[in-house]
């Protein structure tokens, strides 16, 4: 993607330099979206590594110094610490600054961050639907968001120009952008992301609890389905703990529906209902084909 003629932002501050934050830094630099990129992380070792990797113009461990003078601040921290981080930086955000985030739950972010945003600062929550099972500043890459969706979730009354700039930022990094209401976002993600991760963690936990001999065979003879679950289950534990706890109502609703469907499948297997089983498999194949057609597989 070609660089923009004029940067969207003069100073883009990224707080949290894991997979997403470090990928944003790389993509924003590669596409000329910010004149200056400031990186901030609570971990001294992460800050040192970002300095070594060199994908930010300035590495600033202090939150207040990092956000001072920035015209865009992006929170790339786990949703469980959004509230404390936002409360710390809010008094030091410049008038006209856009505060945004990449959190996987949006009702909690609006609840925790929105009330502390000062007048004159524009709050535009967002969520890029991209990632890998890896974490840390070494895991990021500029192409992570290309061809992937980013959901922008502005609260009612958000400044339209600020929303447009965040949309342009994600589009500039190669993402396809859609706007969504926070509660709807959380229900959709409960099905498409949060429940699959919960199932993956649970299945791997079940395998880990097996007797040693059987567990060894599970690992040695793992088929592709189990290997796919282990890839998902390798994700960051703190991030997913916070996601589950901050989207508990939607996640528990979807888990209950899944449990009912799993019990219906068990009944079909027990009573030899071949038609029911085949229908479920065919519906899965149909969903997979649909993902391939829209290039999201």
Q: Which helix (H) or strand (E) holds 35?
A: strand 34-40
Structural domain that includes position 86? 9-180
Query: In this predicted structure, what is the pLDDT of residue 9?
Result: 98
pLDDT digit string, tens, across residues 66-92: 999 999 999 999 999 999 999 999 999
Question: What confidence tier does 216 reach under pLDDT thresholds 50, 70, 90?
Answer: confident
What's the predicted TM-score (pTM) here? Answer: 0.88
Residue 131: CB atoms within 10 A of its CB come to 21
Question: What confidence tier does 213 reach under pLDDT thresholds 50, 70, 90?
Answer: low
Do 222 and 129 share a structural domain? no
The residue that leads in pLDDT, 287 or 25, is 25
Which residues are registered as beta bridge partners of 58?
38
Do 86 and 225 share a structural domain? no
Do 257 and 212 share a structural domain? yes
- The dihedrals phi and psi of 159, each to the nearest 5 degrees, come to -55, 125
Give a yes or no: residue 104 inside a domain.
Answer: yes
Do 34 and 156 share a structural domain? yes
Do 240 and 132 share a structural domain? no
Residue in 1, 137, 148, 18 with CA at minimum distance from that of residue 76: 18
Give a yes or no: residue 29 inside a domain.
Answer: yes
Going by the DSSP 8-state scheme, the letter that residue 148 receives in this structure is: -
Question: What confidence tier does 125 reach under pLDDT thresholds 50, 70, 90?
Answer: very high
Cβ pair 38, 16 in contact under 8 A: no
Of 162, 180, 198, which residue constitutes the final position of a domain? 180
The token pair that represents 146 in the structure block: 């290309």
Of 161, 180, 199, which residue constitutes the final position of a domain? 180
Query: In this predicted structure, what is the pLDDT of residue 164?
Result: 97
Do 212 and 175 share a structural domain? no
Give a yes or no: residue 2 inside a domain.
Answer: no
- The dihedrals phi and psi of 173, each to the nearest 5 degrees, come to -95, 5
Give a yes or no: residue 173 inside a domain.
Answer: yes
Do 160 and 34 share a structural domain? yes
User: 114, exposed or middle or buried, with CB in 10 Å at 0-12, 13-18, 19+?
Assistant: middle
Query: Residue 280 belongs to a domain with what CATH number?
Result: 1.10.3660.10
Query: Residue 30 belongs to a domain with what CATH number?
Result: 3.40.50.720
Degrees (nearest 5) of the Cα angle 11, 15, 18? Answer: 120
What is the tally of structural domains in the chain?
2
Residue in 28, 50, 44 with CA at minimum distance from that of residue 100: 28
Do 131 and 20 share a structural domain? yes
Give a yes or no: residue 18 inside a domain.
Answer: yes
The residue that leads in pLDDT, 225 or 85, is 85
The CA distance from 227 to 209, in Å, is: 17
Q: HEC states along 52-107?
A: HHCCCCEECCCHHHHHCCCCEEEECCCHHHHHHHHHHHHHHCCCCCEEEECCCCCH
Do 246 and 137 share a structural domain? no
Give a yes or no: residue 3 inside a domain.
Answer: no
Question: What confidence tier does 161 reach under pLDDT thresholds 50, 70, 90?
Answer: very high
Residue 135 has pLDDT above 60, yes or no: yes
Give a yes or no: residue 172 inside a domain.
Answer: yes
Do 198 and 156 share a structural domain? no
Do 247 and 159 share a structural domain? no
Query: In this predicted structure, what is the pLDDT of residue 5?
Result: 65
Query: In this predicted structure, what is the pLDDT of residue 291?
Result: 79
Do 288 and 205 share a structural domain? yes
Of 180, 210, 242, which residue constitutes the final position of a domain? 180
Residue in 124, 171, 164 with CA at minimum distance from that of residue 149: 171
pLDDT digit string, tens, across residues 237-292: 999 999 999 999 999 999 999 999 999 999 999 999 999 999 999 998 888 888 78
pLDDT digit string, tens, across residues 35-76: 999 999 999 999 999 999 999 999 999 999 999 999 999 999
Give a yes or no: residue 228 inside a domain.
Answer: yes
The CA distance from 115 to 132, in Å, is: 32
Residue in 186, 206, 184 with CA at minimum distance from that of residue 195: 186
The token pair that represents 220 in the structure block: 């040695």
């Amino acid at each position: 993607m070609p660089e923009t003629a004029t940067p969207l932002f003069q100073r883009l501050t990224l707080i949290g330099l894991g997979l997403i934050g470090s990928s944003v830094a790389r993509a924003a630099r590669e596409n000329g979206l910010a004149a200056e990129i400031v990186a901030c992380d609570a971990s001294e070792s992460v800050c040192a590594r970002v300095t070594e990797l060199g994908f930010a113009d300035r590495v600033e461990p202090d939150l207040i110094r990092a956000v001072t003078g920035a015209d865009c601040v992006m929170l790339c921290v786990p949703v469980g610490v959004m509230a404390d981080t936002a409360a710390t930086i809010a008094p030091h955000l410049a008038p006209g600054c856009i505060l945004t985030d990449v959190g996987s739950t949006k009702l909690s972010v609006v609840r925790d961050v929105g009330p502390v945003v000062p007048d004159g600062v524009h709050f535009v929550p967002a969520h890029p639907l991209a990632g890998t099972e890896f974490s840390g500043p070494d895991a990021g890459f500029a192409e992570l968001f290309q061809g992937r969706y980013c959901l922008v979730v502005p609260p009612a009354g958000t400044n339209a120009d600020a929303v447009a700039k965040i949309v342009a930022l994600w589009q500039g990094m190669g993402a396809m952008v859609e706007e969504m209401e926070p509660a709807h976002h959380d229900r959709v993600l409960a099905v498409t992301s949060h429940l699959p991760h919960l199932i993956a963690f649970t299945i791997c936990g079940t395998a880990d609890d097996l007797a040693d001999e059987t567990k060894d065979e599970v690992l040695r003879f793992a088929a592709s389905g189990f290997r796919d679950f282990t890839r998902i289950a390798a994700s960051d534990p703190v991030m997913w703990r916070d996601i589950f706890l901050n989207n508990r109502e939607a996640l528990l609703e979807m888990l209950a529906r899944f449990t009912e469907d799993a019990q219906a499948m068990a009944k079909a297997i027990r009573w030899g209902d071949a038609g029911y089983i085949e229908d479920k498999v065919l519906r899965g194949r149909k969903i997979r084909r649909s993902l391939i057609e829209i290039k999201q597989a």
